[in-house]
Amino acid sequence: MHEQLLQPINAPTAVKIIEAAMPLFMKRGYTAVSISDVIKAAEITKPTLYYYFSDKEELFVQMGLHLMVMMGGQLQDATQGTSTAERLTALARVLLAERNADMRLMRHEMFEHVGPANRDLLVRAFYTHLFAPIEAVMTDGLATGVLARYPAGILSAMFLGMSDSFHEFGQQARLAQWSIGTVGHFANPMLGAETMVDLFLNGVRSGS
Amino acid sequence: MHEQLLQPINAPTAVKIIEAAMPLFMKRGYTAVSISDVIKAAEITKPTLYYYFSDKEELFVQMGLHLMVMMGGQLQDATQGTSTAERLTALARVLLAERNADMRLMRHEMFEHVGPANRDLLVRAFYTHLFAPIEAVMTDGLATGVLARYPAGILSAMFLGMSDSFHEFGQQARLAQWSIGTVGHFANPMLGAETMVDLFLNGVRSGS
DNA sequence: GTAACTTTACCGAACGGTAAGAAAGATTAT
DNA sequence: ATAATCTTTCTTACCGTTCGGTAAAGTTAC
């Protein structure tokens, strides 16, 4: 049971379960998704799920690890650009991609509904796969003099946080609901990766 | 039942229930909090809760309205500053206050677990009490030439989003868990209201 | 045969919600 | 003044359903 946690899932049925569970957990959260929902989506039966995962929490943790490794690979690719601004834009594009999950919700759920041991696993994965690539770009940006004023760790946290916000406000489905005030009037492109990097680098003060 | 939705809660027991439910819902989310949890925290019994609220969703909605009116009052006060930067810092201080809720989670839960009619109520309250005061400061900042480059609605959404990020990363309890990489090394003050406004206005590019 | 995998059928506990009525103070009738 | 009535507020006891999880018996592939 426990050593299974540390090695990758290879059984095709287990992968099928994880990939069926991912959009559910990421949209509705941990408790709102029942095991029944997952087995319906994965088109299996309950004991099959419990053959591969010891309980609901382990399924969630494995799903989280799967997700972070996936996104981590994309982030790694995004650091290949030549300039810092280019790399940041590529990173932002990955973080804002529609199919990529809301990492803010993931962080909340893993701190709220996952036990200490598994939480530690997820936190480490978050750092290794998501945070570290971003931090590397920031460190390089500071070294080459493009960035300044804050240490790489803080810059990375800010960048990730901003991407969470842009990710949320950029979802059309939700923007449609938002159409009471001014927020509803703007279109998607203004909340894209370029805008985010622009805000990150230059701020919004007049004349910058 | 329905007209009760639009008028304020005045019965002391109902207020007690709402105030007991607020920290629970805001920490664990809608589905993870059971009615039993709420009645234990409020020190009442279940039918008493159902005497004041028709179902779990209405309790959540009333709690959300209560929360937004509270925070809205504080935001309104924060717009009294003289300069735009001062007003923004005061707004940020309200949004980052520890006792104030994670509005990001609130938004997620109200879109995910609340029916259309009640969702509309909450969205309107969000706009009226939280968004509008911020937008007013942005509009003024644009008019006086302090801000530029984006319309007030987008600036407000960006500002709110940034505050969500700072709010999350600024929570000590969670930062303690975060201590694997560089993120764990920085202390609270660097994620305060002043830093947030600095990033918002000036960005992080070298020489700004 | 046997090992890996998947099924039908079921469990106790917790869930959201309710029926029926007791306790309490205010209002009214005598 | 006091007994009876009424409305508001809150309780004990319970409902059907869904929850996460399991025992045990197939089914399939080597």
Distance A31 CA to C21 C1' (A): 36
Please compute the mean of the pLDDT values over residues A36-61 and round it to a whole number: 94
Please say if the pLDDT value at position B73 is more than 50.
yes
CATH code of A3-202, in short, is 1.10.357.10
**pLDDT for res B99:** 80
* pLDDT confidence of residue A117: 93
Q: How far apart are CA B139 and CA B153, in angstroms?
A: 8
Give which of A142, A154, A155, A171 to mutate to test B binding, by max B Cβ within 10 Å.
A154
User: What band does A115 get if pLDDT is binned at 50, 70 and 90?
Assistant: very high
Burial class (CB in 10 A: 0-12, 13-18, 19+), A37: middle
Q: pLDDT-based confidence at B8, cuts 50/70/90?
A: low
* Helix residue ranges, H only, chain A: 2-6, 12-28, 35-42, 46-52, 56-78, 84-96, 103-112, 116-125, 132-143, 152-169, 172-177, 193-202
Of the two residues A194 and A186, the one the predictor is more confident about is: A194
Contact B84, B137 (CB under 8 A): yes
- End-to-end, the C-alpha distance of chain B in Å comes to 56
On average, the pLDDT of chain B sits at: 86
- Would you state the pLDDT for residue A165? 84
More confident residue, B168 or A18: A18
Query: Residue A202 to residues A160, B110, B118: CA-CA distances in angstroms?
Result: 17, 33, 39
What is the amino acid identity at position B127? Answer: Y
Of B32, B135, B180, the CB nearest to A181: B135
Report whether A164 contacts A48 (CB < 8 A).
no
The pLDDT of residue A142: 95
User: For the residues B88-101, what does the mean pLDDT come to?
Assistant: 91
The amino acid present at B201, given as its one-letter code, is L
User: H helices within chain B, ranges in order?
Assistant: 2-6, 12-28, 35-42, 46-52, 56-78, 84-96, 103-112, 116-125, 132-143, 152-169, 172-177, 193-202
List CB contacts (< 8 A) between B121 and chain A: none
Task: pLDDT band for B12, please (50, 70, 90 cuts).
Answer: confident
**Residues B100-118 pLDDT 10s:** 888 999 999 999 999 999 9
Q: Are B205 and A146 in contact (CB < 8 Å)?
A: yes
Give the domain ranges of chain B. 3-202
Cβ neighbors of B187 (< 8 A, separation 6 or more) are none
The values of phi and psi at residue B207, to 5°, are: 85, 5
Give pLDDT tens digits for A170-188. 764 444 455 444 444 444 4
Q: What is the pLDDT of residue A99?
A: 81
Which residues, in sequence order, are CB contacts of A6 under 8 Å at separation 6+?
Answer: none
pLDDT band at A107 (very low <50, low <70, confident <90, very high): very high
Q: Which window residues (32-71, chain B) lie with Cβ within 7 Å of strand D?
A: 44-48, 51
Predicted local confidence at residue B184, as pLDDT: 45
CB B70 within 8 A of CB B76: no
- How long is the CA B48 to C1' D9 vector, in angstroms? 8
Q: What is the average pLDDT across A159-176?
A: 74
- Residues 6+ positions from A45 with CB-CB distance below 8 Å: A39
CB atoms within 10 A of CB B87: 22
pLDDT at B6 over 70: no
Question: Considering only CB atoms, which chain B residues are within 8 Å of A185?
Answer: 151, 153
pLDDT of residue B114: 96
Residues A183, B157: C-beta atoms closer than 8 Å: yes
What distance in Å separates the CA atoms of residue A191 and residue A120, rounded to the nearest whole number? 33
Q: Can you give the pLDDT at residue B167?
A: 85
B31, B150, B160 member nearest A32 (Cβ): B31
Is strand D in 7 Å reach of the CB of B178? Answer: no
Question: Is the Cβ atom of A40 within 7 Å of strand D at any atom?
Answer: no
Mean pLDDT over residues A128-150, rounded? 94
CA distances from A203 to B39, B149, B173 (A): 47, 9, 30
Most confident of A131-140, A144-153, B158-167: A131-140
pTM of the model: 0.88
DSSP code at position A137 = H
pLDDT tier for residue A11 given thresholds of 50, 70 and 90:
confident
Q: In 3-state terms, what secondary structure has residue B178?
A: coil
